[in-house]
Structure 1
Amino acid sequence: MEGGWSGSGGLLLCLTASLLLQGRTNTFTINCSGFDRHGVDPLAFRTAFKQKNFRPVINYSIPTQVNISFTLSAILEVDAQLQLLTSFMWLDLIWNNPFISWDPGECGHINKLTVTTENLWLPDIFIVESMDVDHTMEGLSAYVTSDGHIVYSKPMRVTSICRLDIFYFPFDQQNCTFTFSSFLYTVENVLLGMEKEVWEIVDTSRDFVSTHGQWELLGIDKANPKLSMGSNIYDQIMFYVAIRRKSRRYVINLLMPSSFLMVIDAFSFFLPAESESRAPFKITLLLGYNVFLLMMNKLLPPSGTPLISIYFALCLSLMVVSLLETIFITYLLHLATTQPPPMPRWLHSLLLYCTGPKILCPAALWKENVGPVLTPTHLPGLTEPRGLVGENLEPREEDLNGGSGMTKTQLTDLWVQFSHMMDTFLFRLYLLLLASTIITVIVLWSS
């Protein structure tokens, strides 16, 4: 009796289990008859919706594959002081729910439906670099296909950490990362994949970013690192986003006005050295450049020291040097016309070497007390040449002129000529410094 009972009991148990399994597998296919005539019946999804609190898998040892795709719509703000990048994107998450499926042929060829996210299990995918809470709008829906694929799209305003380098502003390029990972599920539960190729994401995002804001998208690369935290390993997808600032606005508002002022300052050297308007003109330019920097300061980054700030500082320094050069030349001319001091022998020799024929020997001329005649070509501003020597000086006048054998008029001519020579020399030195500054900055920006 016990043996018979145990045999019949075992058979009954097998039949019951097979019926239960058969009944459970039938719940995977939703009865969608009448959807095309009476609309979607919520009761048809009741069994699947009850599973929203659990990861939708038949075998819990098999991880859920979640595919990621996004569209970078706009770069809203780049905060160099806080090292933060604020962007706007559309994030797409795609995974499979085996408890939701129907036969499109029985439902008027309905292949896709929209379901509110409150009735679905959602993967907890987040951006590791994000420094803000994900304020996802409520009441969003997801597309559910007839074979159980769920496509969930949500807009995101992302404020993320990004190491920003503004040295090359306004021709700077920034490289930021977006790392997508699961907060709770390890690699045993959730694996991340790509729904689109990277070039497709780049092409779609580039069209949006190019029409919004002052940044353009250069490219996107990806990597698949693993994050280890203790004994847990999390799957990740890291996107390297390269962006470049649109520099046209800054070239027009910053570089061009500064260049114009520097060109005017360089041309101011062509004003006569004896003119009393050169120094006031340079002072006016210097004040105008300072006003320009104060007005354009809001266009510069609030922190850091970009190359353009160094360039502006160098231009301002050159304008100050230009003004000091004018003051120095004005002082020399004033000294030459009021009380010219005796000219040192080495300076007189240098002046003769620079203005006269190269065959002259200034030292011998000093010894023989003979000097060449300075023509108006050698001495700007004079209409008649004056001899340097050959006049008999009174002993008192010769003592006043340092015993050089020159009259006061001759010394005045020499000092005026020396002032013009120094003016030409300092002007060429100024142009050399200005060209060196511009070339150095251009080379650094182009690199």
Structure 2
Amino acid sequence: MEGGWPAGGGLLLCLTVNFLLQGRGDTFTINCSGFDQYGVDPAAFQAVFDRKAFRAVINYSIPTQVNISFTLSAILEVDAQLQLLTSFLWINLMWDNPFISWNPKECDNINKLTISAENLWLPDIFIMESMDVDKTPPGLTAYVSSEGRIKYDRPVRVTSICNLDIFYFPFDQQNCTYTFSSFLYTVDSMLLGMEKEVWEITDTSRDIIQTQGEWELLSINKATPKMLVGSSIYDQIVFYVAIRRRPSLYIINLLVPSGFLVAIDTLSFYLPAESENRAPFKITLLLGYNVFLLMMNDLLPASGTPLISVYFALCLSLMVLSLLETIFITYLLHLATTQPPPMPRWLHSLLLHSTSPTKCCPTVPQGGTKGLDLTSAHFPGLKEPVELVGKVPDPREAELSGCPGSTRAQQEGEAQKQHLVGLWVQFSHMMDTLLFRLYLLFMATSVITVIVLWNT
């Protein structure tokens, strides 16, 4: 090998240290005699291997330019509780070693070689957000060109800290950063640059990213700030990675079933208010919704309060309000058919001047009190109002008993009683309609508000 290095190891080390202290030297030219049909003789690169502990420069006042690139090939896990993003990167580093060069024409047209990375000087580039030990597999190699350009690629599993915002789950978008910098070398010794353009990194990552269908890559941007530590300035490159969750899994498993249960609960208002099945039906839906929330709890984030949790709490509240409304209407109907209290004059006037309910309103009879038939078919399990005040005697029986005035009084009292019952039943139906409309208004307002928040 050219360069005139002596065989003595001690003298070689002294000359190397003396060369580094002087800050100058000559570019090495690899002797092509080491290139033959059996491969490359390691002795041809021995002088380069001996310098792997020192930064590969001829003049130490000139910083080494290291170009950085990476490919985001997988997003393995997003831990919202620990605020960690686990991803898999292929990091690409490229720099020049002025002590490596050979003439390809004299070396069987060999333009590039692979050399074990353990025999070369490697820049100490790391990711500042990494929260785990570097698990780069050993025994990696680097490409070395005839001009001394070294390209070193290494796969890295990165567990990095990231400020995750899960409020908009499952329609959330996360922005994480990868900051590449050096441990020891300041800007006087090392400068960082880009091997590829940012759009190339983004397109390549989108093509090969493996996310099992949950996350998609939106964009990658970069910035080149300087980091000041005491009196030392370090060069760094910050990559801003924007990812978005694919919500289809959560829409199918969470939002759609919840919407179906709330829709069924809303339709249950069309069951007759006098029916004994409305309240048990709503209680069954409420219990089923609680079981659904318990089963789907594993799909929700373990920490924080996402908007979807507010949505589920809202749906549960609507079902509880629906049940309370049914209980209230059932109580009014029971009171009206058993012991109807005297109706206040203002309430009676309100009933007289109120408009007739439309056909779209559930459980409301048409035509006000006309045609109101208060039989046991409408109020199962309840006695007829006539039975509450006693059986009306036949007129002949009343004459035989000698009490015609008492019979007429009983008939008038019973008619007034039945009319009062009809008024209270009509009031119960009107309250059922009013509360149903308020329920629909509150539900529509709440759902629209949640959708608008999700879209912002």
TM-score w.r.t. length of structure 1: 0.85
The corresponding residue for 1:287 is: 287
CA contact (8 A) 1:380 1:420 kept: no
Q: What is the rounded CA distance, in whole Å, between the counterparts of 2:267 and 2:252 in structure 1?
A: 22
Q: What code does the residue aligned with 1:378 have?
A: G
Tell me the alpha carbon deviations over residues 23-55 of structure 1, each in whole angstroms, 9 at most, x when there is no partner: x73x61101246252211100001111110000
Question: Residue 432 of structure 1: SS of its match in structure 2?
Answer: helix
Helix, strand or coil for the counterpart of 2:203? helix
SS in structure 2 of the partner of residue 407 of structure 1: helix
- The answer as to whether partners of 1:168 and 1:307 remain within 8 angstroms in 2 is yes
The equivalent of 1:186 in structure 2 is 186
Alpha-carbon separation, structure 1, partners of 2:195 and 2:419 = 90
CA distance, structure 1, for counterparts of residue 162 and residue 356 of structure 2: 65
TM-score by length of 2: 0.83
Answer yes or no: is 1:45 the counterpart of 2:35.
no
Q: Which amino acid counterpart does residue 59 of structure 2 have in structure 1?
A: N
Q: Structure 2 regions of 5+ residues with no counterpart?
A: 1-21, 358-364, 375-404
Amino acid at match of 1:411: L
1:118 to partner: Cα distance: 0.8
Specify whether residues 317 and 86 from structure 1 end up closer, same or farther in structure 2 by C-alpha distance, changes over 3 A only.
same
Displacement of 1:351 in angstroms is 1.2
Letter in structure 1 aligned against 2:420: L
Q: Does 1:74 align with 2:74?
A: yes
**Pick aligned residue for 1:436 from 435, 442, 445:** 445
1:83 is displaced (CA, Å) by: 1.1
Aligned residue for 1:382? 372
Structure 1 residues 69-108: aligned runs within 5 Å:
69-108=69-108
Deviation at 1:266, TM superposition (A): 0.5
Q: 1:82 and 1:446 mapped to 2: Cα distance?
A: 26
Where does residue 412 of structure 1 map in the other structure?
A: 421
Give matches, 1:197-212, under 5 Å.
Answer: 197-209=197-209, 211-212=211-212
Does the Cα contact within 8 Å between 1:33 and 1:106 map onto a contact in 2? no
8 A Cα contact 1:351 1:418, kept in partner: yes
- Range that drifts further, 141-150 or 206-215: 206-215
> Aligned residue for 1:258?
258
Alpha-carbon shift at residue 132 of structure 1 (Å): 0.9
- Letter paired with 1:188: D
Q: 1:395 to 1:148 in 2, by over 3 A?
A: farther
Work out whether 1:218 is the aligned partner of 2:218: yes
The root-mean-square deviation of aligned C-alpha atoms, in Å, is 2.4
**Conserved in 1, the CA contact under 8 Å of 2:325 and 2:435?**
yes
Distance apart, 1:173 and its partner CA: 0.3
Partner of 1:321: 321
Q: Retained in 2: the 8 A contact 1:265–1:282?
A: yes
One-letter code aligned to 1:57: V
- Deviation digits for residues 248-281 of structure 1, max 9, x if unmatched? 0000000000000011001000101111000000
Whole-Å Cα distance in 2 between the matches of residues 395 and 84 of structure 1?
Answer: 86
Equivalent residues, number: 396
| Aligned-partner SS, 2:114 | strand
Aligned to 1:144: 144
1:360-418: CA deviations, max 9, x gaps? xxxxxxxxxxxxxxx9521488249xxxxxxx9999989x99xxxx7110110001001
Q: Are 1:62 and 1:188, in contact at CA under 8 Å, matched by a contact in 2?
A: yes
Query: Are residues 118 and 330 of structure 1, via their aligned partners in 2, closer, same or farther at CA, if it must alter by over 3 Å?
Result: same
* 1:115 matches 2:105: no
- Closer/same/farther in 2, CA of residues 407 and 67 from structure 1, 3 Å limit: same
C-alpha change, 1:395 and 1:174, in structure 2 (3 Å) is farther
User: 2:81 is aligned with what amino acid?
Assistant: Q
Shift of 1:172: 0.2
User: Which residue of structure 2 lines up, in the alignment, with residue 360 of structure 1?
Assistant: none
3-state SS of 1:409 partner: helix
Moved more, 248-257 or 29-38: 29-38
What SS class does the counterpart of residue 305 from structure 2 fall into?
coil
CA distance in structure 1 between the partners assigned to 2:259 and 2:130 by the alignment? 41
Runs of 4+ in structure 1 off by over 3 angstroms are 210-213, 392-398
Q: 2:356 touches 2:366 (CA, 8 Å); kept in 1?
A: no
Q: Deviations over 1:167-209 (max 9, x none)?
A: 0000000111110000100000000000000000000111223
Distance 1:211 1:76 in 2: 7
Contact 2:89 2:156 in 1 (8 A): yes
* Partner amino acid, structure 1, of 2:439: Y
Question: Which residue pairs with 1:267 in the alignment?
Answer: 267
